[in-house]
Structure 1
Amino acid sequence: MMNWKQLMTPYQFREKEREMKEPLEEFKTDYSKIIFSSAFRRLKNKTQIYPLDSNDFIRTRLTHSLEVATIASELGTKVEKRLIEEGKLSPDMKECLGAVLRAASLVHDVGNPPFGHYGEFIIQDFFTEFFREKFRQDTDFYGTTWKLSELYDFKKFEGNAQALRQLKKLQYLRDEHGLNLSFPTLATIMKYPRCSYEGNDPAKGVSYKKFGYFQSEAEAYEELVERLGLRVEGKVCRHPLVFLLEAADDIAYMMADIEDAFKKGILNNEILRGVLIKYLNLTNEKENEILLSLGEIEVDMDYPKPWEIKMQIFRKRMHNFMMDEVIETFMYHYEDIMAGRYERELLECSDAVHLKNAFQEILGIIIGDKDVIKLEIAGDRVLRVLLREFTNAVISPKKDMPGTKEAKLYRLMSSNYRFIKERYPYKNPLYNELRLVTDFICGMTDSYALELYHSLNAIKF
C-alpha cells in the first residue's frame, strides 16, 4: 500500500544547503517557481482546440491550465477534508493536497507541441517515416542499435513525457535539475507512469493508455518512484493525486470546449440539448437540472447575448455535479487506489459518465468543423517543414561548418536547449540530436512556429 507520509514528502533532485521546509511551504514554492517560469508563460499562445485564433475569448493552454488549477484545488481540499475526518490522512497534511494539485495543474500541459494534440500526431508520423528511411532495422547510420523504448520515444511521441523533461531538465536554472520542483508535484503530472515501450496499451488500464517519460529521463523517473513509494508489489502505480488532476482536466476542457464552440458559432442551444438528451439520465435530479439550465432563463431582454448567461448557469451546475461525483468515486475506490489496483478514470466510474459520453459526441462536432480542419492542415504543413529542416540540420556534419545552411539552422535553435544537449548528453548520440529537435519544436508557441515557417520559406521577412 502507498502511504501519504511518503507520497507527500517534498524530496527534490537538487539537494539544498538549507533544511527542507514543511511540505506545504515547499508546495507553495513549487507554485511560485512555475508562475514565474517561461514554460508557463508560453502556454498563453498555445492551442487548446482552435489554433491561431485571434479572438481573446477563446481559451488557450494558459487559461485552460488556470481553470484546471481552480477545479483541482477544490477537489483536493474536499478529498483532504474527508480523509482527515476518516482518519486516513494526518491533520498535519491539511492544505497540502490542494496545494500540490494547484501547482501540478499549471504545468500539466507544458510539454504539448504547437497546434495541440494534432501536433503530437505530426511528430509521431514524421519520425516513424524518418526511422523507416534512415535506419537498417533498429540500427542508425552511426552504427548504434536502438532499444525499442528509444525508438518509441519518437514514433509514439507524447506531450506528457515532454512535460516531465521540460520541468526536470529544460527549464534551466543552474544544472540539469531544471525548476527542481518537489517530487509530489512532478508525480502528480505523470498520468502514465510507463516508458514508451510499456505504455500505449490501454487494454491494461488507464495508466497504460500512453506513456509518461522518455529514456533521457529514465533515471530521474526511477528515483522519483522509489523515493515516493510508488512501486507496489513490483508494479509502478499512479500517485493518487493523478486521478484528481485527470478528472479536473476533463471537467475543465469539457465545459471550455463547449463554451468556445458557442462563441464561434459551431454549437448552439438546439444542438447541445439534442446531444445531452441522448445521454443524460433524466430521472437523476441533478442531471435533469443540467439540461433545464439550457431552457428559459430570467435575463434582461435587452441583454445582447443571453446564451452567455445560459452557459454560466450550465457550467456551474455541470461542474458541481461532476466534482461531487469525482469526490465520491475517489472515496469509494480509495483502498484500491492506494493499493495501486485501480485502473480506471474516476469520471468513468461515476454517474457523471453520462456527461462525459455526451461530450465525446459534442467534441466530434467541434473538431469536424471546417475552420478547425483548415487550421489543423495548416499546422500540419508548418510543423512538417520545421521538423524536416531542423532534423536535417542536426544530423548533418555541416552543422559545425560556419556559413552552411545547416550551421545557420542549428544556430537558430534555442541556445538554451543546445547547451543542455551538449552539457548533459544522453548516451545515444543520434537520440540526443533528435531530442534537441523535439525540445525546440515543443518549446514553440503556435504563432512563433508560423512566423518561423514564414521566414524559412521566404514568405515574410
Structure 2
Amino acid sequence: MEYDYKSKLCTLRMRNSTVNRSSIVDEFYSDRSRIIYSSSFRRLQQKAQVFSLEPNSSVRTRLTHSIEVSDLGRTLANKIGYKLYEAKIIEESMVPMIVAVVENACLLHDIGNPPFGHFGEAAIQEWARTYLGELADKAQVQTNDLFNLLISDFREFDGNPQGFRIISKLHCEQDEHSLNLTYATLLCGLKYSRASGEEKGAGIFKKAGYFQSEKEHVEKIYKDMGMEKHHRYPLTYIMEAADDIAYCLSDISDGIEKRIITSNDFLNEFKKIWKEEYKGIPCPVDIPESISNFSMDVSVKWSRKIINEAADNYIENHDLFYNGKAYQLIPEDGLGRVLEIIKQVSRKLLYKSDEAENIELTGYAVITGLLNHFSRLLSLKLEDFTSLINDNKAQSGNTLDLEKRLFNRLGERYVKSYIYETRKLDRTDPEFVVKEWWLRTHLIIDHINGMTDDFALDTYQMLTGIKTNVY
C-alpha cells in the first residue's frame, strides 16, 4: 500500500496567506504563532482544568494543561515520526512537520471549552433541550425539520466542535477566515468525525466533532485533501493520546497539591482497583512502594512507558491509523488499562470531593443563569433583533431598552462573525428566518462560551444585581 503523508501535511488555507514562506514546516510554525497569540488561547489561563476559580497558581488551568499536552504530543510525534522514517514510509525532512502539526493540535484541543468545563457544556445542552423551542415560538420562528437539525449544534454542544468554530470563524478581527490555519492543523484537531445531528456511534462518532455551522467548511477540507469523509486524520490519534496521558496524571497531581488526596491515597486505591479488575495479571508499570514525589516517581516514569507503547502500536497497526479507522493509540489491553485505573481513582477520590462538586454546581448555575438572561435576544422577532444590529428603533415601537443593553454586552468579534454569516444567507430563501435565528443562537453561546470562569461569575452577579461592576 502507498502511504502519502505529503498530502496529509497540507498547507492549504481557506484564504491564501499574505506571507510567502520558504519551507512547509514554517507554515505550521505560523499556525502555532496564530494560536498562542490569540485571545482565546490566553483566556485558557482562567478556565479550570478541574478546579474552577482556583487561587493556588500551582494547580493547572486549561492553559497549563494545554502546554503539557503539547509537550507530550511533541515527544510522541517525534518518536512516531522517526519510526516512520526508519520504516521508509516518510522522508526524514517530514518528521519536524509531523511534530509541528501535532503540537498545534495539542495547543488547540481545549480552546473551545466553556467556563466551568464539562458542567458548562452540560448546562448549555440542558438549556438548549429545555428552552430553544419556546424561545423560537416567541420569535415566530418555524420549528420544522431544518430547525431541529440546526439546533442539534446546541443540544449536542461540546468544547470540541466549539473549538473548531473558534479557530475557523470567530477570530474575525482581520476577516471572516478567523485564524486561517492550515488544513493539516485544522484536521489534526478534529477529535470526532461527524457533525452534530448525524448518527451517533462508538469511538470517533461518540460525539460531534463539528457543528452544522461548520459542516461545509469541514467537507471542503476533506474534498481538497482527497480524504474520505468521516475518517479520522491519522495524526489526531497522537494528539488524543497526549491528552489522555496528561489529564489522567495531572488531575491526580492537582488533587495532591490541593491536599484533597495524598500520594499514598492514590497508591493504595490504584493497587486495590488493579487487583479487583485484573486478578493475577501483573501491572505493566512499576508501582512504587511509596511515593515521595508524584511527578518523578509516577508521572514521568509511567508516561514515558505509555509513550513508547503508543509509538510501537502506531507502527504495528499503521494501516488502521493512516486510514483513520483505528480506535485509539494507547492499546486498551496494554497501558490503556493503567490510564483507565487512574481515571477510576480520580472519579472516586477527586471528582466527588466537596470542593470539586461545589464548584461544579456553582458553574452550572452561572452558565444557566447567563443563558436565561441573554435569551431575551432570542425571543425577539427578526426585525427587532435587526434593529439592535443597526442601532435603530425597534420596528414594533418597543424601545427594547433591556435588550439593547444585553446586546451591547456581546463581544464585538462574535457580532462581527454573526454579520459575516448572515450576509451569506439568501434573504429570499423561505428558511431564512430559521437560519438567521440559528446563527443568532450561536452568537449568544459564542459570547458566553468565550468567557473565563471569573468573568462568567462576575457577569452573572452583575445581571442578577449582586454587583455593579464587571471588569
**1:229, CA displacement in angstroms?**
2.7
Residue 60 (structure 2) aligns with: 59
The letter of the residue matching 1:55 is N
Residue 209 (structure 2) aligns with: 212
Contact 2:370 2:460 in 1 (8 A): yes
Residue 192 (structure 1) aligns with: 192
Residue 183 (structure 1) aligns with: 183
**1:403, CA displacement in angstroms?**
5.9
The letter of the residue matching 2:375 is T
Residue 104 (structure 2) aligns with: 103
Residue 46 (structure 1) aligns with: 47
Residue 112 (structure 1) aligns with: 113
**1:132, CA displacement in angstroms?**
4.4
Is 1:431 aligned to 2:438, yes or no? yes
Unaligned runs of 5+ residues in structure 2 are: 389-393, 426-434
Residue 449 (structure 1) aligns with: 456
Alpha-carbon distance between aligned partners in 2 of 1:18 and 1:59, rounded to the nearest angstrom: 36
Alpha-carbon distance between aligned partners in 1 of 2:177 and 2:366, rounded to the nearest angstrom: 32
The superposition leaves residues 307-364 of structure 1 with CA deviations (integer Å, 9 ceiling, x where unpaired) of 4x2432211111111111111111111111223332x122243511221221221121
Superposition pairs of residues 15-54 of structure 1, within 5 angstroms: 15-17=16-18, 19=20, 21-54=22-55
TM-score by length of 1: 0.90
Structure 1 residues 41 and 444 mapped into 2: Cα distance closer, same or farther (>3 Å)?
A: same
RMSD: 2.1
Alpha-carbon distance between aligned partners in 1 of 2:194 and 2:24, rounded to the nearest angstrom: 27
Superposition pairs of residues 86-165 of structure 1, within 5 angstroms: 86-134=87-135, 141-143=140-142, 145-147=144-146, 148-165=148-165
Most deviating of 416-425 and 440-449? 416-425
Residue 361 (structure 1) aligns with: 344
Superposition pairs of residues 404-419 of structure 1, within 5 angstroms: 404-419=401-416
Is 1:6 aligned to 2:14, yes or no? no
Alpha-carbon distance between aligned partners in 1 of 2:294 and 2:62, rounded to the nearest angstrom: 24
Structure 1 residues 215 and 109 mapped into 2: Cα distance closer, same or farther (>3 Å)?
A: same
The superposition leaves residues 225-250 of structure 1 with CA deviations (integer Å, 9 ceiling, x where unpaired) of 1122321xxx5211111100000001
The superposition leaves residues 64-100 of structure 1 with CA deviations (integer Å, 9 ceiling, x where unpaired) of 0000000001111110000011111123313111111
Q: Of the candidates 257, 265, 271, which is equivalent to residue 271 of structure 1? A: 265
Is 1:320 aligned to 2:320, yes or no? no
Residue 70 (structure 2) aligns with: 69
The letter of the residue matching 2:290 is G
Residue 237 (structure 2) aligns with: 243
Alpha-carbon distance between aligned partners in 2 of 1:350 and 1:88, rounded to the nearest angstrom: 27
Give secondary structure in 2 for the equivalent of 1:355: helix
Unaligned runs of 5+ residues in structure 1 are: 297-306
Contact 1:73 1:99 in 2 (8 A): yes
Give secondary structure in 2 for the equivalent of 1:94: helix
Residue 375 (structure 2) aligns with: 391
Q: Percent identity between the aligned chains?
A: 29
The superposition leaves residues 348-387 of structure 1 with CA deviations (integer Å, 9 ceiling, x where unpaired) of 4351122122122112121111111111111111111100
Contact 1:13 1:177 in 2 (8 A): yes
Contact 1:104 1:186 in 2 (8 A): yes
The letter of the residue matching 2:255 is A
Aligned length: 438
Alpha-carbon distance between aligned partners in 1 of 2:213 and 2:167, rounded to the nearest angstrom: 13
Alpha-carbon distance between aligned partners in 2 of 1:213 and 1:321, rounded to the nearest angstrom: 33
**1:2, CA displacement in angstroms?**
6.4
The superposition leaves residues 379-411 of structure 1 with CA deviations (integer Å, 9 ceiling, x where unpaired) of 111111100111222432555345610111011
Alpha-carbon distance between aligned partners in 2 of 1:457 and 1:340, rounded to the nearest angstrom: 48
TM-score by length of 2: 0.88
Alpha-carbon distance between aligned partners in 2 of 1:324 and 1:239, rounded to the nearest angstrom: 21
Contact 2:192 2:207 in 1 (8 A): yes
